[in-house]
Structure 1
């Protein structure tokens, strides 16, 4: 697979990941044990906001792999 194809597929995967992560984050934020406490909300939003980076890292590293000769 060429690097151009990997970047195209990786971009689509990252967009899907971001959309699904955001929807799940919004749904979980409505849970009563998070919504009732200000400090829990703060911790949750920090973790949820930065949490998408871990699943995105393997996708980005796969996209950057050089073409095989």
Structure 2
């Protein structure tokens, strides 16, 4: 796979990840935090705001892998 195609796929994956993750986080927040206090809201949004980095790191690591010989 060429580097250009790999970067295109990685970019699309990262954008899709952020959109889907944000929708899931909002849905969970609305369903679970409706009657919680401000500290619970703060804790949830801090944790969910940092948690998306883990799958994004996987995509970025894949992007940084050197191309296989012959490609």
- When normalised by structure 1's length, the TM-score is 0.88
* 3-state SS in 2 of match to 1:31: helix
Q: Which residue does 1:63 correspond to in 2? A: 63
Aligned length: 68
**Residue-by-residue CA offset, 1:4-37 (whole Å, 9 max, x unaligned):** 21111010000000000000111111124x2321
Q: Which residue does 1:19 correspond to in 2? A: 19
Q: What are the equivalent positions in structure 2 for 1:47-58 lying under 5 Å apart?
A: 47-58=47-58
Please tell me the root mean square deviation across aligned C-alpha atoms, in Å.
1.1
Q: Which residue does 2:44 correspond to in 1? A: 44
Structure 1 stretches lacking a partner, 5+ long: none
Q: Which residue does 1:2 correspond to in 2? A: 2
- When normalised by structure 2's length, the TM-score is 0.86
